[in-house]
Structure formats: C-alpha cells, structure tokens
C-alpha cells in the first residue's frame, strides 16, 4: 500500500535493530492481514483488544508473550497494529499521533474499497435475480444472492404474505432444513411478523435481543424454527421488509451463527437488495400471470401483449440503468436516459443540493425546490400537478425512510401507461442508489475537512498546514474568520444529516467567488472563509444571513449562528473559532435563533463564561427582598432604571403620582439596604436588571 511508503522510513529509523510486523484488522470479515514485516520471523497475528471506544487517543499500547503491540483503531472497529518483537516502546506521543493519521488514510482507502465491493455485489445480485422470469427460480435466486450480497450471513429465508391464510409463508431458504417451510407466522408474531407489520427493518446484535422479540411466537412455530436451525444459535440477525411501493409483500431474514460486525449500513444494504428483489418478484409474478391467461380468452391477448411489453421493457430499463450506475458517471446520464426512454420532458430535482437535472435545462424549472418540498412534506405518494401554461406534470417522490431526497418531474399530455410507470419506478430506484453513493462520499469529505480544521486550530506545523491549505483551495495567509451554525430539536439522525447536507450545499452554491472550508459535524456546520478585500466579509456574512433567514422561514427546526471576528493569518483561526462559539452560546442561552456577530454581543461577553446558577443567584439577592403583597416594588425599580432614574418619566409609565413613586423608592432602599444615590449601589441594581432582561 502507498501509505507504507510514508511510515516505513520512520519505523526503520526508530527500529533499526528490531524486527516488526504491520497488520490490518477488518472486523466486518473477521480477518486480519499482514501488510509488511521486517526480519525472517514467524507471523504473529495480534490478539483481540476489547472496548476500543474508551480510548480517546485513538490508539493503545499493550504487551503479550514478549512482544509489544501498538494498536491504532478507527470507525467500525478497523485496526492497524504494529507488532514489535521487544518489550519496551521507543515511540513518543507525537510519533504515535503521526502514525495514527498516516494509517487513517489506509482505513479510508479500505472503507472506499469495501463500499465499492458491496455495491458491485449488490449489482451482481440484482443481475442474477432478474435473469429469469420463473417465480420459483427468482425466489431461489433471491435467497442465494442475498447471502452473496451479505457475505457475513450463514442462513437466510424469504417469506411472502398469503392473504388467504393470513400468514407469512416461507418461499425460499438457504442454510435451513425443510422444517423452515412450516414456519408460518401471523402478522405481528415473532420477529418476521413484527417487521412485516411495522414495515421497517430490525437488527439484533445478541442472542438475548433475538429471543426477547420472539417472546410472542406460537409453540408450533417455535418448534419448527428450532428444528430448522438444527441446534445452531443465531448470534445476530437482520430482518427487512420486502415491499412494492407502499405495500408490504413479505420479509427477508438473515441469520449469523458466528460473531459478526453489524452496522446500520448492513440493514441499508440488505434493504436495497430487498427493494430490487421485490421488483423481480413482481415482474416474475406478472409474467406467470401472463402465461396463465394466455390460453383463456382471445380478448385478453392484447392485455397479455401489453403486460409482456411492460415486463421486457422493465428488464431492459433495469439493465440499462444498472450499466450507467456501474460507470460511476453520476445522476446526469441516468436522467438523460430516462428522458429518452419516456419520450417526453423529464426532470429530476435533487432537493438536498437544490439541483435540477438535466443540467442543460436548469434554466427551466416547472416547480421550485421549496414548492416540491412543501408538496411532499406530509405526502409519500406520487401526485399529478398543473405547472401553468396548460402543462401538466406527474411528480414521483424519492424518499429514504423519513428523509425526502428528491423528486422526478414528468411532463404529461395523457395518463401514464403501465410501461411508463415501471420506467419511472425503476429510474427512481437507480437515482436513490446514486444519492446514497453521493452521500457516502460527502461524509468522507466532511471527515477529511474536519481533521484538517482541527490541525489548523492546533497550529503545530505552519509550513505543512500552508501546503495542505493549497490542496483544500484556501490561502491561509489571508484574513480569515470562522462561522459556526447549529441545528436544534432534530432527534432523527438521518433527518439531521439531510438538513446539514442541504445547508452545506446551499452555502457552497453561493460562495463560489470565495476561498472557504465548510463541513458538517454532528448537529453543527463549521465555515471558515478567506478574505482578500475588506468588503468580502460583508458579502459572505450577507450570504450566511440570507441562508439562515430562508431556512428558519421554511423549517420549525431551530438554526442559530455565531460569527467570529476577522483576523490575519492561520495562527488566529482558533481565536475566531472560539469567538464564533461564544456568540453561538450567547444566542442559545437567550433561547433565540438567528445570527449574531461576536462584536455585537458587547458588554454581554463578560457574562458568557458565568454559570446560569450564579447569575440567577445574583439577581435573586437583589429582587428577593422586594416581594410584597400590596406594592409592586420590583416593577417600580425596573421601570425607574429603564427610565434612567427619571422620576417624572417613571411615574408616568407606572401611572402613579410622583410622590407615590418617591414613597416606593424609599421602601426599596430600606428593603435592599441600598442607597439609590450611591453609584456603586446603582451599578449593582443596573447589572441585576440587565441580567434579568438578557439572560
């Protein structure tokens, strides 16, 4: 691997007289591979290290059998381990931090290769299940290819719902004996019945979790499933619904009999395959129906021809779109091909990035992105809409769980045929896969940018950072400022991720004239912009302000923004970043949303680091003695201070006689044991009023 070229010189220099080996552990496949070894010594695979998440440094040093191991661990439990054939480490913390970052590049490469491999397996599996129109063969191919798409799986079975029996009936299996055919569950019974009823996938990471959700299985079904597994125990399990549109037709289940690594991506991958399997089942069932009806009545021959055409066209469409997806050319070629297939104007709106496809027609937008988002804010089914000028459109939404990703917009002059519906549905599936791929790459880019930004905050190696800045397209010797945007009140992580991506895309599309870094991290977006002219900061903040204003008008989610001051050179980035976070903290404490500059906080910046409890205690000390049943002394004091201690103006605001005001002020002085003519006492009261009003 290329990354070893960067690590080996350091290792050879430090370990001139020491033998060592470098290993990479890939948890998903439960394998560990040797990357490099020095010296003619036996291979020494490293032992397993549990509870990696508790080591915040990202690495751990440990000994075993007169050998020293340096373990570097990353997301999804990937590890790179250096095995030293000695008992004591000669590496400093700086060396270990450097190794961690260098090996992280190896992890990213492995992650991308794994995603590509999974995608290729998924596409190969889809090819296989659509290669036949015989229902039994299609069902058999689905289960066989499910275990190829998900190689960690040991056994799988497919159940389809039979309305006549009101049961989920096993139709194909692999890794079970014939007893699985008698495992027929009701809707809501056991794991498969619950997944079918709820229409959402479930992942189980332990035996206890599996048996907990099987608590309502009937004695008969419990007997059959235990016989089917032949005394084996599933250590993990994934079950996903098989659906055609909004209608569930069955479930697909995979058992893991050995310890395996399961993530949310595992369910996404299997669900994507199940969605394509549903299309294959639907096509095979259509074909079977056509064969049955072929010999019945002559009048049905035209319908048979039409359905057969739909089936063949569906297969052709699927193969064509799959080929385009394999070429990795993105969304634009797929939309152009759909235009050709449909023979009418067809557009795709990427809602997250606000892009209209085909790009050559971006000047014509039948519906604005905001309009489309409003239409499908609650709806999940396609709709017919009038776009004005006597033109009608068919809008087909592309939705991933709770997240609205985009919409196909089709110009129509007559009702859509079944053939056209099939083309649109399969086009939507192909576009959904492209959007998932695109989102994965975006997340990787966010991580790289986030790591570089953290290096800038630490400012340890200015020369190296300057060179890296060129790679990211930003001049770090310019004047720079940092903005932090924070989203509140979004509990759904997928919805939060979509909103972050949408905001970042909006900012990127407007900041093309400037050098900047922008990335999403959890519920925040960090933006660092480089300024060449004094007026540039005003232009950039204007873009941010408009973006925030538009977002807050469209959404109920809470978006707040803090902007740090402009400084010269990278050494001050940390200062501007700290100011942006303090400004954000100020607006958050006031429970408001919007945008604020650090310099606009004014004197309130003195209180940002004060705890709410301490400020409340100070305010209570001033106003607690003013509680009274007959006079509102607290209100009198606050109006008096707001009126700049003008007695006449205060009396008018309170609608009382000025003598009554003086009497109240004397009572206030007595209860507070303060003198309203003493500058120090006046300052104390003014401060308490200010804290009450602003915090």
118: in domain: no
Structurally, how many domains does the chain consist of?
A: 5
- Encode pLDDT of 491-503 as tens digits: 777 778 878 888 8
The more confident residue out of 189 and 476 is 189
Helix (H) or strand (E) holding 68: strand 67-73
> Is there a single domain that holds both residue 174 and residue 79?
no
509: domain CATH number?
A: 3.30.70.270
Question: Is 126's pLDDT higher than 60?
Answer: no
Final residue of a structural domain among 575, 607, 639: 607
- Answer yes or no: is pLDDT of 484 > 80: yes
User: Which residues partner with 595 through β-bridges?
Assistant: 561
**Position 223 confidence tier, pLDDT thresholds 50, 70, 90:** very high
> What one-character DSSP code corresponds to residue 674?
-
**Residue 272 falls within a domain, yes or no?**
no
SS3 531: strand
Phi, psi for 664 (deg, rounded to 5): -65, -40
Please say if the pLDDT value at position 416 is more than 90.
no
More confident residue, 167 or 555: 167
Residue 185 or 404, more confident = 185
Q: Which of 539, 569, 568, 581 is nearest to 469 (CA)?
A: 569
Question: Does residue 110 fall inside a structural domain?
Answer: no
Q: Tell me: the pLDDT tens digits for 49-75?
A: 665 555 666 788 888 778 888 888 777
**Is residue 529 domain-shared with residue 575, that is, in the same domain?**
yes
**Mind spelling out the 3-state secondary structure of 331-378?**
HHHHHHHHHHHHCCCEEEEECCCCEEECHHHCCCCCCCHHHHHHHCCC
- Alpha-carbon 258 to chain mean position: 29
The predicted-structure confidence for 6-42, as pLDDT tens digits, reads as follows: 677 777 777 778 888 888 876 655 667 787 888 888 8
| CATH code: domain of residue 13 | 3.30.450
**Residues near 105 by beta carbon (within 8 Å), at least 6 away in sequence:** 3
Give the pLDDT score at 255.
92
**Range scoring the smallest mean pLDDT among 303-317, 444-458, 513-527:** 303-317
Q: What is the CATH number of the domain that holds 308?
A: 3.30.450.40
The tokens for 586 are 């100020």
| pLDDT at position 196 | 94
Cβ density class 569-578: b for 16+ within 10 Å, e for less: ebebbbbbbe
Does the residue 125 lie in any domain?
no
List the strands of the sheet with 20-26, edge to edge.
31-38, 20-26, 79-84, 67-73, 59-64
The dihedral sign for the CA sequence 530, 532, 537, 538: negative
- What CATH code is carried by the domain that includes residue 634? 1.10.10.2840
> pLDDT tens across 136-152, in order?
676 777 777 777 767 67
Structural domain containing residue 671: 612-694
pLDDT (mean) for 70-89: 79
Residues 409, 316: one domain? yes
* Same domain as 572, residue 524: yes
Output the pLDDT for position 188: 94
Residue 267 lies in a domain: no
pTM strictly above 0.85: no
Mean pLDDT of the chain: 79
User: Residue 483 and residue 414: Cα distance in Å, rounded?
Assistant: 50
Residue 279 falls within a domain, yes or no?
no
State which of 237, 262, 287 marks the end of a domain: 262
Same domain? For 230 and 320 the reply is no
Same domain, 669 and 583: no
Length of the chain: 695
Same domain, 302 and 353: yes
Q: Any residues with CB less than 8 A from the CB of 652 and at least 6 apart, and which?
A: none
603 with 617, same domain? no
- The answer to which of 156-160, 174-178, 183-187, 415-419 has the lowest mean pLDDT is 415-419
- Same domain (yes/no): 218, 249: yes
């Amino acid at each position: 691997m290329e990354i070893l070229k960067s690590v080996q010189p350091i290792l050879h220099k430090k370990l001139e007289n020491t033998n060592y080996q470098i290993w990479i552990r890939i948890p998903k496949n439960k394998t560990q591979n040797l990357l490099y070894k020095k010296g003619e010594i036996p291979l020494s695979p490293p032992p397993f290290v549990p509870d990696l998440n508790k080591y915040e440094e990202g690495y751990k040093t440990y000994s075993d059998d007169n050998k020293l191991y340096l373990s570097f661990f990353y997301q999804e439990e990937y590890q790179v381990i250096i095995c030293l054939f000695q008992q004591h480490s000669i590496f400093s913390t700086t060396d270990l931090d450097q190794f961690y970052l260098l090996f992280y590049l190896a992890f990213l490469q492995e992650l991308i290769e794994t995603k590509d491999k999974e995608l290729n397996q998924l596409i190969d599996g889809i090819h296989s299940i659509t290669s036949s129109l015989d229902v039994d063969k299609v069902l058999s191919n689905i289960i066989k290819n499910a275990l190829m798409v998900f190689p960690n799986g040991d056994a799988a079975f497919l159940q389809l719902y039979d309305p006549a029996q009101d049961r989920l009936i096993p139709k194909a299996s692999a890794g079970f004996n014939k007893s699985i055919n008698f495992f027929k569950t009701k809707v809501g019974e056991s794991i498969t019945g619950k997944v079918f009823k709820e229409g959402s996938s479930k992942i189980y990471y332990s035996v206890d979790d599996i048996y907990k959700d099987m608590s309502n299985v009937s004695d008969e079904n419990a007997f059959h499933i235990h016989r089917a597994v032949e005394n084996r125990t599933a250590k993990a399990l994934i079950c996903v619904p098989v659906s055609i549109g909004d209608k569930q037709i069955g479930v697909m289940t995979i058992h893991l009999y050995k310890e395996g690594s399961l993530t949310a991506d595992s369910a996404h991958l299997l669900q994507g395959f199940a969605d394509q399997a549903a299309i294959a089942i639907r096509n095979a069932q259509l074909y079977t129906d056509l064969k049955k009806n072929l010999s019945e009545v002559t009048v049905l021959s035209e319908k048979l021809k039409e359905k057969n055409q739909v089936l063949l066209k569906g297969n052709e469409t699927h193969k064509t779109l799959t080929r385009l997806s394999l070429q990795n050319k993105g969304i634009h070629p797929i939309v152009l091909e759909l235009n050709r297939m449909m023979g009418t104007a067809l557009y795709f709106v990427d809602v997250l990035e606000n892009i209209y496809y085909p790009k050559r027609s971006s000047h014509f937008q039948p519906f604005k992105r905001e309009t489309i988002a409003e239409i499908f804010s609650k709806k999940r089914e396609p709709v017919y809409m009038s776009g004005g000028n006597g033109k009608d459109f068919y809008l087909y939404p592309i939705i991933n769980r709770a997240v609205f990703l985009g919409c196909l917009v089709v110009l129509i002059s007559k009702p859509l045929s079944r053939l056209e519906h099939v083309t649109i549905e399969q086009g939507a599936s192909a576009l959904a896969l492209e959007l998932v791929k695109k989102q994965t790459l975006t997340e990787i880019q966010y991580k790289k940018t986030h790591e570089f930004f953290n290096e800038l905050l630490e400012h340890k190696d200015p020369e190296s950072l300057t060179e890296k800045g060129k790679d990211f397209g930003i001049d770090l010797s310019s004047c720079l400022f940092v903005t932090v945007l924070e989203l509140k009140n979004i509990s759904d992580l997928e919805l939060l991720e979509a909103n972050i991506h949408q905001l970042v895309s909006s900012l990127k599309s407007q900041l093309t004239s400037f050098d900047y870094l922008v990335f999403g991290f959890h519920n925040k977006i960090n933006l660092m912009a480089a300024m060449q002219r004094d007026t540039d900061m005003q232009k950039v903040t204007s873009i941010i302000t408009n973006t925030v204003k538009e977002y807050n008008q469209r959404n109920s989610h809470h978006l707040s923004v803090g902007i740090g001051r402009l400084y010269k050179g990278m050494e001050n980035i940390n200062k501007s970043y700290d100011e942006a976070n303090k400004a954000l903290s100020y607006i958050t404490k006031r429970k408001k949303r919007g945008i604020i500059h650090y310099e606009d906080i004014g004197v309130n910046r003195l209180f940002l680091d004060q705890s709410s409890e301490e400020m409340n205690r100070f305010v209570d000390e001033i106003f607690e003695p003013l509680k009274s049943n007959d006079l509102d002394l607290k209100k009198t004091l606050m109006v008096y201070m707001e009126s700049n201690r003008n007695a006449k103006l205060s009396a008018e605001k309170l609608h009382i006689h000025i003598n009554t005001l003086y009497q109240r002020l004397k009572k206030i002085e007595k209860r507070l044991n303060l003198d309203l003519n003493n500058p120090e006492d006046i300052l104390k009261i003014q401060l308490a009023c200010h804290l009450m009003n602003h915090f």
